Amino acid sequence: MEALAHACQPDQADEDISTPEAHFSPREFKVYTHRQLDRIRQVQALSEQQRFEMKVVSQVLPFRVNDYVLDELIDWNNIPDDPIFRLVFPQREMLQPEHFDEVAALVRADASSAEMAPVIKRVRDALNPHPAGQMDLNLPMLDGEPLPGMQHKYRETVLFFPSQGQVCHSYCTFCFRWAQFVGDKELRFASSEADQLHRYLAEHREVSDLLVTGGDPMVMKARHLRGYLEGLKKPELAHVTNIRIGSKSLTFWPYRFVTDPDADDVLALLRELVDAGKHVAFMAHFNHWREMETPICREAIRRIRATGAQIRTQAPLLHHINDDADTWTRMWRTQVQLGLVPYYMFVERDTGAQHYFEVPLVKAWEIYREAMQRVSGLARTARGPSMSADPGKVEIQGVTEINGEKVFVLRFIQGRNPDWVQRPFFARYDETATWLPDLKPALGAEKFFYEEEFDALKDEKLALI
């Protein structure tokens, strides 16, 4: 405990924490993409083979890192096992061997980008770039036209993708939105229309939550963010009581809230929304407790919380990065101590390098359960393991036996039809299953209870577009 309290403070534990800015020097945001891989000092020290493999994989999957992540988060004495290294650096096994070999041959032959493009496109297309019907099924309509920068899947919550926020300070190798970062314009659902957003919300009085997402909305300048959020104070949007901002900036660029030129402006905006009576929830993505250990991250957390915004946390469970109960236990304990509220443990989605990161559902549940048993009730607010699948968010509640049949007990924590939420249902136990379509109904059922209705819903929606 004492060690943690001490780590909260930048230099000396006994210094005045009310004027902490003085202790943190601004840092220039220096970023590297796959074209600059060779220029990263720490990468230069890796073997020729490792560098070649990274170069190959980063032709297909997005790569972007900045020097805060390189210098402060990665332990370069523990490569390749360091969890933050695996979180941002491409690894050979992230591509299927045949895909890797194909792209490697082109890289080795120094092929032109025109020669590479069709191969890379084919490999990307084989990686299910659009999981969970993101393109079609969730499109909201305004004046009979689809709104491409938004998704409305669950009744209460609208997702908004501001066009200036469609990158991140660094990319995660497992990101389920990876396709939008590799330049495929079709795959980018972004909107620059604050006005359309506000009109849509005004017409949908059932919506209580706006979730601003990306990319990372926190890459935006404060004045852009203000353009989208300030308008929510209007009386006709009083029903939108909760504003969530999904972000990994506390991991990848905490300077955003401490020393960046408009750090104070962004905090002032959050405070204004809180003062206007909104619940502002900063949905922070943390995969590992290590991301929360730096003094600058602790200070960013302190400053966000001082605005009256809540910080809730979520992350997928990932093979090679956080697939053990110790990591989750320590992560949730740290979060609770810092005043953050654990919210979701996700199952890695069926896209991109899923085969590299996936964890069998039964193992995910065991890790969740073991970590839960070791934390106090304050950390048991995290739900999961949850699959964000086509019909909704499905949680694995556990494994049990009914009439001699071993089954998974499941429930919807969100459903396309709100009536599905909180109904327990059962799937045949399968120790290799990693995603919803791997599961088969148990106890003699032909279909899961929601399936017929979901198929009908899908037909109806797709007919509208």
Ligand X SMILES: *Cc1c(COP(=O)(O)O)cnc(C)c1O
- CB of residue 37 to ligand X, shortest distance in Å: 32
- CB of residue 247 to ligand X, shortest distance in Å: 15
Given the complex with ligand X, which of 154 and 252 has the nearer CB atom? 154
Options 141-149, 151-159, 430-438, 439-447: segment touching ligand X (CB under 6 A): 151-159
Given the complex with ligand X, which of 123 and 159 has the nearer CB atom? 159
- CB of residue 141 to ligand X, shortest distance in Å: 16
Number of alpha carbons in the 13 Å side-chain half-sphere of residue 238: 2
Q: Would you count residue 161 as binding ligand X (CB under 6 A)?
A: no
Among 55, 86, 153, 320, binds ligand X (CB under 6 A): 153
Q: Would you count residue 367 as binding ligand X (CB under 6 A)?
A: no
Q: Which residues pair with 229 in a beta bridge?
A: none
Nearest to 72 by CA among 57, 90, 88: 88
Residues 210-269 binding ligand X (CB under 6 A) are 211
- Work out the number of other CB atoms within 10 angstroms of the CB of residue 307: 20
Q: Would you count residue 300 as binding ligand X (CB under 6 A)?
A: no
Q: Would you count residue 27 as binding ligand X (CB under 6 A)?
A: no
Q: Would you count residue 151 as binding ligand X (CB under 6 A)?
A: yes
- CB of residue 262 to ligand X, shortest distance in Å: 28
Among 43, 54, 150, 159, binds ligand X (CB under 6 A): 159
- CB of residue 17 to ligand X, shortest distance in Å: 32
- CB of residue 391 to ligand X, shortest distance in Å: 12
- CB of residue 264 to ligand X, shortest distance in Å: 29
Given the complex with ligand X, which of 418 and 441 has the nearer CB atom? 418
Given the complex with ligand X, which of 151 and 322 has the nearer CB atom? 151
Options 123-131, 140-148, 150-158, 215-223: segment touching ligand X (CB under 6 A): 150-158
- CB of residue 193 to ligand X, shortest distance in Å: 19
Residue whose token pair is 């800015």: 21
Given the complex with ligand X, which of 153 and 278 has the nearer CB atom? 153
Q: Would you count residue 414 as binding ligand X (CB under 6 A)?
A: yes
Under 8 Å between Cβ of 323 and 317: yes
Given the complex with ligand X, which of 414 and 434 has the nearer CB atom? 414
- CB of residue 66 to ligand X, shortest distance in Å: 27
Given the complex with ligand X, which of 260 and 395 has the nearer CB atom? 395
Given the complex with ligand X, which of 96 and 417 has the nearer CB atom? 417
Q: Which residues contact 128 (CB under 8 A, 6 or more apart)?
A: 350, 351, 352, 354
Size of the site for ligand X (CB under 6 A): 10
- CB of residue 181 to ligand X, shortest distance in Å: 18
Given the complex with ligand X, which of 84 and 210 has the nearer CB atom? 210
Q: Would you count residue 333 as binding ligand X (CB under 6 A)?
A: no
Given the complex with ligand X, which of 66 and 388 has the nearer CB atom? 388
Nearest to 254 by CA among 311, 294, 283, 306: 294
Residues 376-405 binding ligand X (CB under 6 A) are 388, 393
Taking the C-alpha atoms of residue 382 and residue 375, their distance in angstroms, rounded to an integer, is 11
Given the complex with ligand X, which of 256 and 393 has the nearer CB atom? 393
Among 154, 200, 365, 425, binds ligand X (CB under 6 A): 154
Q: Would you count residue 180 as binding ligand X (CB under 6 A)?
A: no
Residues that bind ligand X (CB under 6 A): 151, 153-154, 157, 159, 211, 388, 393, 413-414
